[in-house]
């Protein structure tokens, strides 16, 4: 048996080089690297779009963009950041780390894994191609409805909507394939002795995320397909003149859209406690409580969708139900916050870059969560809804809670992945610049929203000028400081101080028992977990 295994491995070792290595690879680490690289590139594409918007909003009046182009940028910015930056980044970590954390040689379905990744670049092209086509006089540019595709505006829209619908289909297929792979891997490839309740929290977070994706992506795909047939084949799902209802689209969209928030956050909630226990040098507090909280949040996330459109009109009992069920999400979240802080409490803490990002993440995500609690109130929501208050709120959850979490994870695992230490000074500089400029970008937006500035407007009344100016300046600082991140990653990949196997003094888990970087087939001998 052992001889055949060795022969098998040697055969695999002769993998193609150059571009063919990446096109045909079925290796979880190669695919993970591709996901992460793709996410980083798209993070900058989406970022460049929002900087164009912030430049336009720097002062009242139209200076740079016309309103049509402005509307295209806001929607595509969101789609890229959510589907092409945050989700691939989380999937990249899943590919890299899940086999390492459960002691498996690779993912369960390697070919599917390859396909899942290679669907992403075409969909990114589909999303952005209409911009280029418009330059040559074909069509009138990209999707201009915001990322939510609300009809009838999306039925009225140009070819950009069709391109975005197909992009969403491809992205959806990619996500579902990735999720199936993760579920199958987690259920079948765990090392002997690793029961489900011994799995790392990151694996747990991803397991719930994967189930949510499999449950909700088909609803989104169905909704946008109905939109497509409304646009081109004479159906009337969302057209009142034919017996349809535009608000039904909002229900379908947010049935996907709300779980999507937790799809983006659960993987981060998974590795944040792992970073905390590492740098607090004591085991995490309340592992079971956190796993159960994941379940609770996963279950609640699919039954609260209508709080995204309280002002669309619905019966009073529905308003009350969605308000109270939304407030209930604060309970499992509070349990998690309690566990995070208890993990730090009486630890022996040190503050390397991943820990800095994690602590900053807890504070900023806390602001996002608490403003979310306020938003759940139906009456107050009539004021907050579609104002800049909401924009600020969801950037606290998705930029701070999502992207800054991903950054913490990047610094945490980069030495393991590359075998080199990153530059600690630059990492800390990156953190402080990001945290400060992020707050200066979005705190003014809370006040803009309260003062009555609607979102998605290309030009605004004079009373909003000062806050917008501060926000724009800070947004550029925020954008430019991400160049430090890229520089740090690239130089870490190229070389640097050798990382030890354990990397961090307080690291727990199977991934730290392998050399840095880990061998091509991770665990060639199955580890046993006691």
Partner 1 sequence: MQVFKKIGLGLFAFLASLNAYAEYSWNFPEPVTPMALDTLHVHNKFMLITMAIFVVVLAIMIYSIFAHRKSKGYKAVADKAPSTAVEIFWTLVPFVILLLIDFVIMGIPAYHSVIMMEDTRDKATMVVKVTGSQWRWQYEYMDGDAKGIKFVSNLSTPKEQTDKGFDGKKDEQYLLEVDNRLVLPVGEKVRILMTATDVMHNWWVPQFGSSRLAVPGFIRETWVQVDKAGTYRGQCKELCGKGHGYMPVVVDAVPMNEFKVWVATKKEELAKADAGADKEWTKEELVATGKGVYDKNCAVCHQVSGAGLPPAFPALTGSKAVTSPIFGEDGKYLKDGHLDRVLNGIRVMPGWKALLNDTEIASVITYERNALGNSVGDVLQPAQVKAARQ
Closest CA to 280 of 339, 337, 357, 355: 355
* Residues in Cβ contact with 390 at an 8 Å cutoff, skipping those fewer than 6 apart: 375, 384, 449, 455
Nearest to partner 1 of 176, 364 (CB atom): 364
Minimum separation from the CB atom of position 191 to partner 1 (A): 25
How many whole angstroms separate alpha carbon 223 and alpha carbon 230? Answer: 11
Nearest to partner 1 of 30, 277 (CB atom): 277
Q: Say if CB 266 and CB 208 are below 8 A apart.
A: yes
Nearest to partner 1 of 20, 331 (CB atom): 331
Q: CB-hemisphere CA count at 13 Å for 110?
A: 16
> In a 10 Å sphere around its CB, with 0-12 CB exposed, 13-18 middle and 19+ buried, how is residue 476 labelled?
middle
Minimum separation from the CB atom of position 186 to partner 1 (A): 25
Minimum separation from the CB atom of position 351 to partner 1 (A): 8
Q: Say if CB 288 and CB 199 are below 8 A apart.
A: no
* Backbone phi and psi for residue 420, each to the nearest 5 degrees, phi listed first: -125, 155
How many whole angstroms separate alpha carbon 226 and alpha carbon 205? Answer: 32
Minimum separation from the CB atom of position 415 to partner 1 (A): 19
Minimum separation from the CB atom of position 411 to partner 1 (A): 18
Residue 175, SS3 per DSSP: helix
Nearest to partner 1 of 128, 154 (CB atom): 154
Minimum separation from the CB atom of position 267 to partner 1 (A): 23
Nearest to partner 1 of 35, 464 (CB atom): 464
How many whole angstroms separate alpha carbon 110 and alpha carbon 175? Answer: 15
Minimum separation from the CB atom of position 494 to partner 1 (A): 26
Nearest to partner 1 of 41, 477 (CB atom): 477
Residue 423, SS3 per DSSP: coil
Closest CA to 53 of 32, 33, 67, 40: 67
Nearest to partner 1 of 288, 494 (CB atom): 288
Nearest to partner 1 of 21, 232 (CB atom): 232
Q: Which two tokens stand for residue 289?
A: 């409580």
How many whole angstroms separate alpha carbon 177 and alpha carbon 174? Answer: 5
Place of tokens 């990949």: 493
* Residues in Cβ contact with 199 at an 8 Å cutoff, skipping those fewer than 6 apart: 101, 102, 186, 190, 207
Nearest to partner 1 of 71, 114 (CB atom): 71
Q: Which two tokens stand for residue 320?
A: 């009350």
Minimum separation from the CB atom of position 428 to partner 1 (A): 10
Minimum separation from the CB atom of position 283 to partner 1 (A): 7
> In a 10 Å sphere around its CB, with 0-12 CB exposed, 13-18 middle and 19+ buried, how is residue 281 labelled?
middle
Minimum separation from the CB atom of position 5 to partner 1 (A): 40
Closest CA to 28 of 119, 102, 84, 94: 94
Nearest to partner 1 of 346, 494 (CB atom): 346
Q: Which two tokens stand for residue 508?
A: 């727990």
Q: Which helix (H) or strand (E) holds 170?
A: helix 159-188
Nearest to partner 1 of 15, 281 (CB atom): 281
Minimum separation from the CB atom of position 124 to partner 1 (A): 23
Angle, in degrees to the nearest 10, between helices 405-418 and 246-280: 50
């Amino acid at each position: 048996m052992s001889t055949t295994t060795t022969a098998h491995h040697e055969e695999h070792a002769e993998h193609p080089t150059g571009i063919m290595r990446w096109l045909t690879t079925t290796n979880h680490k190669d695919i993970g690297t591709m996901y992460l690289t793709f996410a980083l590139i798209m993070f900058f594409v989406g970022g460049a779009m929002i900087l164009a918007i912030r430049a336009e909003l720097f002062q009242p009046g139209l200076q740079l963009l016309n309103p049509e182009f402005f509307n295209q940028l806001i929607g595509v910015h969101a789609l890229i950041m959510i589907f092409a930056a945050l989700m691939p980044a989380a999937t990249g970590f899943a590919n890299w780390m899940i086999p390492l954390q459960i002691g498996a040689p690779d993912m369960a379905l390697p070919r599917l894994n390859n396909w899942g990744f290679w669907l992403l670049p075409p969909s990114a092209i589909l999303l952005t191609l209409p911009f280029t086509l418009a330059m040559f006089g074909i069509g009138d540019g990209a999707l201009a409805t915001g990322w939510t595709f609300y009809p009838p505006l999306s039925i009225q829209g140009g070819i950009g909507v069709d391109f975005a619908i197909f992009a969403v289909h491809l992205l959806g297929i990619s996500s579902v394939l990735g999720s199936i792979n993760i579920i199958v891997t987690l259920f079948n490839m765990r090392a002997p002795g690793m029961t489900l309740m011994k799995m790392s929290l990151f694996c747990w977070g991803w397991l719930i995320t994967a189930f949510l994706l499999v449950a909700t992506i088909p609803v989104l795909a169905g909704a946008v397909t109905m939109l497509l047939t409304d646009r081109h084949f004479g159906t009337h799902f969302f057209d009142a003149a034919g017996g349809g209802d535009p608000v039904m689209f909002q229900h379908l969209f947010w049935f996907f859209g709300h779980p999507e928030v937790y799809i983006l956050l659960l993987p981060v909630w998974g590795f944040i406690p792992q970073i905390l226990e590492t740098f607090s040098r004591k085991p995490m507090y309340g592992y079971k409580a956190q796993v159960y909280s994941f379940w609770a949040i996963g279950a609640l996330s699919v039954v609260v969708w209508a709080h995204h459109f309280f002002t669309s009109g619905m019966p009073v009992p529905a308003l009350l139900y969605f308000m109270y069920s939304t407030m209930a999400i604060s309970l499992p979240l509070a349990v998690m916050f309690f566990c995070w802080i208890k993990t730090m409490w009486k630890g022996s803490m040190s503050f390397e870059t991943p820990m800095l990002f994690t602590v900053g993440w807890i504070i900023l995500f806390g602001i996002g969560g608490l403003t979310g609690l306020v938003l759940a109130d139906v009456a107050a929501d009539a004021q907050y809804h579609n104002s800049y208050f909401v924009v600020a709120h969801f950037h606290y959850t998705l930029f701070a809670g999502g992207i800054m979490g991903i950054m913490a994870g990047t610094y945490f695992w980069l030495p393991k992945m590359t075998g080199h230490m990153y530059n600690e000074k630059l990492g800390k500089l990156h953190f402080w610049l990001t945290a400060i400029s992020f707050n200066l970008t979005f705190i003014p937006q809370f006040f803009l929203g309260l003062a009555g500035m609607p979102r998605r407007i290309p030009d605004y009344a004079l009373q909003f000028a000062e806050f917008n100016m501060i926000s724009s300046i800070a947004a550029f600082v925020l954008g430019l400081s991400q160049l430090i991140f890229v520089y740090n990653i690239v130089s870490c990949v190229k070389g640097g101080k050798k990382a030890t196997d354990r990397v961090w003094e307080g690291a727990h888990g199977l991934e730290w028992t392998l050399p840095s970087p880990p061998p091509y087939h991770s665990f060639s001998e199955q580890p046993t977990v006691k």
